[in-house]
Amino acid sequence: MTPLYEPQAFIDGRWIDAADGRRFAINDPADGSHVADVADCGADDADAAIAAASAALPGWRARTAADRAQLLHRWHALIIDNIDALAELLTREMGKPLAEAAGEIRYGASFIQWFAEEARRSYGETIPSPWPSARIVTTRQPVGVVAAITPWNFPVAMVTRKAAPALAAGCTMVLKPAEDTPLSSLALAELAHRAGIPAGVFNVVPTARAALVGDRLLDSADVRKISFTGSTETGRKLLARAAATVKRASMELGGNAPFIVFDDADLEAAVEGAIASKYRNAGQTCVCANRFLVQHGIHDRFVARLIERTRELKVGPGTAPDTAIGPLINQRAIEKVEALLGASVDAGAQIALGGARHVRGELFFEPTVVTDVTAAMPLWSDEIFGPVASILRFDTEAEAVALANATPFGLAAYFYTADLGRAWRVGEALEFGMVGINEGMLSTEVAPFGGLKQSGYGREGSSHGLNEYLDIKYMLMGGLAPKGDVA
């Protein structure tokens, strides 16, 4: 069997080295072992990928939606056929437990299936004309060449969430994956190729020189759209740069998710939701519960039960079958968790469980529960991106909603209540793009994923996801009045 990827760039249907021959190392976060040396693409390689995507565009766009859908269905099937090998690769480069990696791949693949189906339903409309001699129709057309820049925390799903709707719509793509995790996206490219997706339609340029390649993609007038998932800080920079060529943009940026537990909540359900929302991917997701707000009447019972359940989570390498929490991605990540925790403890927060690096190794952190957190602490205002549950006690519904909304971010929010009126009131009052009510996980390909405020804009998944890659064209058909006699 040929390998799932080559440690190179994938441009115009071929594996190639960086033009200047540079490479960079990918290491396993669980033990620091060397995984691969990958082509470190530069400006020339970015240009070559843009040229390939531009050349492939007319042919790809001209195919019928059904034709493109058939190739996407094949890509989806090949990903599922290779799920074990893909999961192993994902865990090696990123660290998450194997079962979570397989879950991510199924979730990632579901976008390809979904958008293969959606491609056939990108309907236009007819609009009643204000002129008797004219008719108005709208059609949807692919925006063109798309640049995608993705993060390391979901090396497969963040790619397919962009590539699937783009390709389904008839766009071609240049992907710059995160420098920590380029291998999974190269494997996706290989499988797309095997599925029969034509050369130049999906190109991958791995690089350790993110800004160099990113600038090239953003400055090119041939690239008509940027789709980015990552930090708000980087998103802001990319948006500013994209302004020069007035690109369309989808921005899925940072979050600071509140997780509110009201007195009337089902305690067990709230704790299970909290465990899933907080500790999945070792707390490294943009929709992870970042701030627990727990009402005074249930507070102590919630904290006690959360500690009990958190204690059961096994820390270890993702490859061990019983691991629930793997390593963090890199030194920077673990230092950030330590800094936020340290500053908050200095300000009066209490560590109820964990609170330090784990004996398993350098990048492992103990699952941690912190109480007596206040809105003035860094654990509250910053995205933790680690396995630390920080808990604040509140009294009233109005107070909880005000605290939850007092952030520049607006991605996901969660709350637990048995009161139907409160469910609607709070659901509508929360200034977040996604709200989980009595559920701690809400991602699915059939629902629109995306944020408000400085968490960005645009939606991924659902029927809305396709429109991110389609331009509306209005056509006026005039001169319809009869000329002379009409028999």
As annotated, the active-site residues are 252, 286
Retrieve residue 364's tokens: 């492992």
Rule CB under 6 A: which of 22-51 touch ligand ADP? none
Retrieve residue 314's tokens: 């096994």
211 binding ligand ADP? (CB under 6 A): yes
**Nearer of residues 172 and 207 to ligand ADP, judged by Cβ:** 207
237 binding ligand ADP? (CB under 6 A): yes
**Nearer of residues 149 and 166 to ligand ADP, judged by Cβ:** 149
> Could you tell me the smallest distance in angstroms from the CB atom of residue 218 to ligand ADP?
7
Options 21-29, 131-139, 150-158, 425-433: segment touching ligand ADP (CB under 6 A)? 150-158
CA angle 89, 69, 198 (to 5 degrees): 65
State the DSSP H helix or E strand holding residue 167, giving kind and residue range, or none if neither.
helix 157-169
Amino acid at 158: M
**Nearer of residues 316 and 450 to ligand ADP, judged by Cβ:** 450
CB 172 within 8 A of CB 141: no
**Nearer of residues 179 and 362 to ligand ADP, judged by Cβ:** 179
CB 190 within 8 A of CB 213: no
| Binder of ligand ADP out of 151, 283, 318, 326 (CB under 6 A) | 151
Residue with tokens 């799920």: 83
The strand ranges marked E within 40-109 are none
| Binder of ligand ADP out of 69, 90, 105, 149 (CB under 6 A) | 149
Options 42-50, 227-235, 359-367, 391-399: segment touching ligand ADP (CB under 6 A)? 227-235
Options 230-238, 389-397, 428-436, 455-463: segment touching ligand ADP (CB under 6 A)? 230-238
CB 410 within 8 A of CB 419: no
| Binder of ligand ADP out of 17, 31, 88, 179 (CB under 6 A) | 179
214 binding ligand ADP? (CB under 6 A): yes
**Nearer of residues 197 and 213 to ligand ADP, judged by Cβ:** 213
Give Cα separations from 485 to 132, 169, 381, 482 (angstroms).
17, 44, 75, 7
231 binding ligand ADP? (CB under 6 A): yes
The C-alpha atoms of residue 448 and residue 434 are separated, in whole angstroms, by 8
Q: 191-210 mask for ligand ADP (x: CB under 6 A)?
A: -------------------x
178 binding ligand ADP? (CB under 6 A): yes
251 binding ligand ADP? (CB under 6 A): no
Angle between helices 65-81 and 98-119 (to 10 degrees): 170
Q: How many positions of this chain bind ligand ADP (CB under 6 A)?
A: 13
CA angle 47, 51, 54 (to 5 degrees): 135
Retrieve residue 419's tokens: 């009161």
